Structure 1
């Protein structure tokens, strides 16, 4: 079991001119930013590290010097109450902006934001909560999935590809729908098999079960599998390696983060630029341009996309770029379900 520790992992110093932040921060002589990470925090080679990169980029971009940014991460156990306490601690410490880097914070953040109306909050991947002091950082994942679906279909030797999701959610249905649409757009006769690891969140942390399901998919003729399964993903890469197939990563460039022995099976990854989103919200808040509501990151502003690390997709990049241009121009409508 993971056990929560309500302590700051690090203090990164920020300085502001004192004009762009809220009144509480001005009274304190500076602007503090609080960051609430998901488990396990910095050093995960995943979305937490992307968010941390955005924090560091924002500091450099606006030339901020000594002032504290408090970063909190959960321990081994992390309930809704723990998340709320973490957000409340950041708000109570005087942070003018509190950034929650995971949609898992949605429920607790809605409550805490209402209790601290003078504090500005931003949350990633949670469009369902709203408030006058809440910014929603949302990603057009179906658009990025459309492009990796096209890549999978173009690179498939068998004409049969697969999608494996951690659990069936509205968001992941968008990944599946975009992937399928992109594949059919470039190869109308392609077959797309779909599977889900679990009915609950355990599907995002079960690489062995993911390996078994992916192995079955490869054994039936699927030769490329797009996994949107969080920490279960390495199981898919292992299955691809043993089957002589290919896999598609998700969220980050998994060719760069996966174990060396499976990197060569990663065709591409659908990336969400959480670093860009976190950098933008911090910079906007510092400059007095914080706006509540949905802030969309899509192909048009490079908020989502695909990777070419490893070179497997190099020969299909011209086709993918042509599709991207059509999506940005509005000539292709990408389904969200």
Structure 2
């Protein structure tokens, strides 16, 4: 009897992790493998949803899939729809194929894909249905600002550690390298950048070890563009006297080592999508670009630890992005930076080998 009771309790716990609290909810967030308190992407999108429902009192919930495969995501969406979801918010590039499938399977449900666009498995069809609104960000602009600020602050040995070769991550990294080179040219300095994709968005001892080795060999600041894996970099920074540039949201509260954060206004994206939906102006079938021109990206200046890089310098470089005087290259075909033309910057590209 005790074994049977334990089994029932275990099943209930698993279902609650997968499916939220079980109540009816008009607005649903499907998280990736992370949580709504990951201090990064999921939390940023969730904050926008909460801000909207605080103003409207519409029911809402989040659903955390059991894994990151298509079937697990689709099961979470199915659960959300069964519980009354009228609009489903999905965060990130990982949901591209998921939303592509779901938008046709559930034509009466609206989808907001934040930081991604729908596509089939081989990208031969990238149809955005009328019930889907896609939002993308100028990641390369945010990355550019981060690299520029780091070098203007005085750092010349820096690093980029991305989660994987997803398009937004590549754009972040490419922007970071270009921004660093632009500042290096202005200052007449030479900059070295360690550059690697860790092949994970999760915390791991291996990533702590990798980041620690960089710090111990002279890297001063690492741009950790990797979701929850960024916490591994922060741990390494804390243990080795290094600094971190956060990503997606202001991560200054996550660690005293955070110099600044390259931010996407994720909360604004989910809030705007929901507002458009309930106001009857939902931009289905379209992709909305959020960039410097509409305050879609930026650095966390108010909570930064900059000593030399000033607000005036930030506003000046930001203005050049707004005006189109600076247009960072955003190619995603390679990911290794070999296709970038750099003047005062050397990139040491490290490719991890699966053991």
Q: Report the TM-score when normalising by structure 2.
A: 0.78
> Aligned runs of 1:256-295 on 2, under 5 Å?
256-258=253-255, 263=256, 265-292=257-284, 293-295=286-288
8 Å contact 1:161–1:190 — kept in the other structure? Answer: no
Is 2:1 the partner of 1:9? no
Which segment is superposed worse, 270-279 or 166-175? Answer: 166-175
Whole-angstrom distance in 1 between the partners of 2:45 and 2:304: 26
Is 2:49 the partner of 1:55? yes
Is 2:301 the partner of 1:308? yes
Give per-residue Cα distances to partners, 1:105-143, cap 9 Å, x unaligned.
222221121022222111122224322221112111111
Give the match for residue 21 of structure 1. Answer: none
Which segment is superposed worse, 47-56 or 170-179? Answer: 47-56
Question: Of residues 63, 74, 88 in structure 1, which corresponds to 2:65?
Answer: 74
Q: Which runs of 5+ in 2 are unaligned?
A: 1-12, 120-127, 332-355
Give the match for residue 163 of structure 1. Answer: 160
Whole-angstrom distance in 1 between the partners of 2:18 and 2:212: 40
Q: Shift in Å at residue 238 of structure 1?
A: 2.8
Q: Which runs of 5+ in 1 are unaligned?
A: 14-31
SS in 2 for 1:193: strand
Is 2:144 the partner of 1:183? no
8 Å contact 2:203–2:231 — kept in the other structure? Answer: no
Give the match for residue 192 of structure 1. Answer: 192
8 Å contact 1:54–1:275 — kept in the other structure? Answer: yes
Whole-angstrom distance in 2 between the partners of 1:254 and 1:288: 34
Whole-angstrom distance in 1 between the partners of 2:23 and 2:318: 40
8 Å contact 1:87–1:109 — kept in the other structure? Answer: no
Aligned positions, number: 305
Whole-angstrom distance in 2 between the partners of 1:131 and 1:280: 19
8 Å contact 1:163–1:192 — kept in the other structure? Answer: no
Give the match for residue 170 of structure 2. Answer: 173
Is 2:113 the partner of 1:123? yes
Instruction: From the superposition, tell whether residues 9 and 93 of structure 1 become closer, same or farther in structure 2 (CA, over 3 Å).
Output: closer
Question: Of residues 295, 301, 321 in structure 1, which corresponds to 2:315?
Answer: 321
Whole-angstrom distance in 1 between the partners of 2:75 and 2:154: 48
CA RMSD, Structure 1 to Structure 2 (Å): 2.5
8 Å contact 1:255–1:309 — kept in the other structure? Answer: no
Give per-residue Cα distances to partners, 1:127-178, cap 9 Å, x unaligned.
2432222111211111111111011112234x22221112233322211110
Whole-angstrom distance in 2 between the partners of 1:238 and 1:68: 37
8 Å contact 2:252–2:304 — kept in the other structure? Answer: no
